[in-house]
Amino acid sequence: MKLIKLLATTTAVAVLLAAPAYAQTRIALVVKSLGNGFFDAANKGAQEAAAEIGGIEVIYTGPTAATAEAQIEVINSLIAQQVDAIAISANDPDALVPALQKAMERGIKVVSFDSGVAEAGRQIHLNPSETNLIGETIIKLAADYLPEGGDVAILSAASTATNQNAWIDAAKAVLPEKFPNINLVATVYGDDDSVKSTDEAKGLIAAYPNLKAIIAPTTVGVVAAAQVVTDMGLIGKINVTGLALPSEFKQFIDNGASQAVALWNPIDLGYSAVFLANDLIKGEEAAPGKTFSIGRVGEVTLDDTNSAAMAVPFQFDKTNIEEFSKIY
């Protein structure tokens, strides 16, 4: 009887002690803001990677407001929790540097993905694709359905969004050479806010009567623009395109407000970020020219700034949107 009691107590104590010991490796996936389908998909990929590698807990977190200040609060709480690594999509490349440097000083590995952090604030940056390729792709998406050319406008996210600005610059760079008959008339900013994006899209339509296409390289803006085109009965006159999540955008491919959109695979992005973070935790050093394996996605090689490009954007149209809308 005594023995059983003793055994029971020891087991209970052991369980109690084991529970808060956190033997697992904890990787935090910090996103620009929660409630965004793109990042939910990235989290799905991150969880897949965690299951595949084993012994990893992924903490999916981020602020409500997509600001650097709010993200710093999240980073501070992760530093306090002594996580093993932070994989972050940044709201601001510079403002997060001091906070992330503090994290690295306390032994936390830092990987940025999607929207990058300046070199001093992270060890590796994983680009979803290559900036020039994305810039060319978003123009091509519009140009493919405008054989005679015409006016197009860009509806972007925040005017401070790192990645959107880089893509738009790249798009402007390829215009004169590869798409001489496409005329980019304006770039407006909807701040990744549905209401503001809707207003900006309406403004574009009112200001440019010959507008043939709206290019929105953001998943929030593209839905808002397509909804405006649908509501105003402009289907067939204005083609909405850009970067869109298939599940959110399927209805607009179906109703003809859009011919085609593109996106890389956010699932693969979250998946790859966790693989890279795990390699750093295991003691791998990030250095230019070094190649990392990212599981089923393949492998990436770091460039001079320790950044890597994952894959080329993938196009969705009437033929495949049905299939992909079920995935993300």
Partner 1 sequence: MTDIHATGRSLPNRLDNPLKSAVLSWESLLVLVAVGIFLLNSFASPYFLNAYSLSDLTFNFTEKGLIALAMALLIISGEIDLSVAAIIALASTMMGLALQYGADTPTLVAVGVGVGILCGAFNGFLVTGLKLPSIVVTIGTMSLFRGIAFIVLGDQSFKGYPPSFSWFGQGYVWWVISLELMLFLVSAVIYWVLLHRTNFGRRVFAIGNNDVAAQFSGVRVDRIKFILFCLTGLMSGIAAVLLTARLGSTRPSIAEGFELEAITMVVLGGVSILGGAGSIVGVVLAALIIGLVTFGLGLLNVPGIVMTIFTGSLLIVVIALPILFRMWRLRA
Contact between 325 and partner 1 by CB under 8 A: the answer reads: no
User: Which range binds partner 1 by CB under 8 A, 66-74, 269-277, 292-300, 308-316?
Assistant: 66-74
Which letter, b or e, does each residue of 20-39 get, where b requires 16 or more Cβ atoms within 10 Å of its Cβ? eeeeebbbbbbbbbeebbbb
- Contact between 70 and partner 1 per CB under 8 A: yes
Is 92 near partner 1 (CB under 8 A)? yes
CB-wise, 4 or 80, nearer to partner 1?
A: 80
Quote the CA–CA distance of 285 and 123 in Å, as a whole number.
9
Interface with partner 1 in residues 261-300 (CB under 8 A): none
Question: Binders of partner 1: how many residues, by CB under 8 A?
Answer: 32
The answer to whether residue 176 forms part of the interface with partner 1 (CB under 8 A) is no
Using CB under 8 A as the binding rule, whether residue 67 contacts partner 1 is answered as yes
The token pair that represents 183 in the structure block: 């005329």
Binding mask 14-53 for partner 1 (x = CB under 8 A): ------x------------xxx------------------
Distance, CA of 97 to CA of 113 (rounded, Å): 14
Q: Max Cα separation, the chain?
A: 90
Asked whether the CA dihedral 152, 157, 159, 163 is positive or negative, the reply is negative
Q: x/- site string to partner 1, residues 103 to 142, per CB under 8 A?
A: ----------------------------------------
- Helix H segments across the chain? 2-18, 37-53, 68-80, 97-105, 131-143, 162-178, 194-207, 219-231, 246-254, 266-281, 321-325
Cβ–Cβ under 8 Å, residues 39 and 31: yes
Q: Which stretch binds partner 1 (CB under 8 A): 78-86, 194-202, 238-246, 258-266?
A: 78-86
Q: Please, what's the b/e burial string for 104-121 (b: 16 or more CB within 10 A of its CB; e: otherwise)?
A: beeebbbbbbbbbbbeeb
Cβ closer to partner 1: 51 or 65? 65
Residues in contact with partner 1 by CB under 8 A are: 20, 33-35, 59, 61-65, 67-70, 72-74, 76-77, 79-82, 92, 94-95, 97-98, 158-160, 165
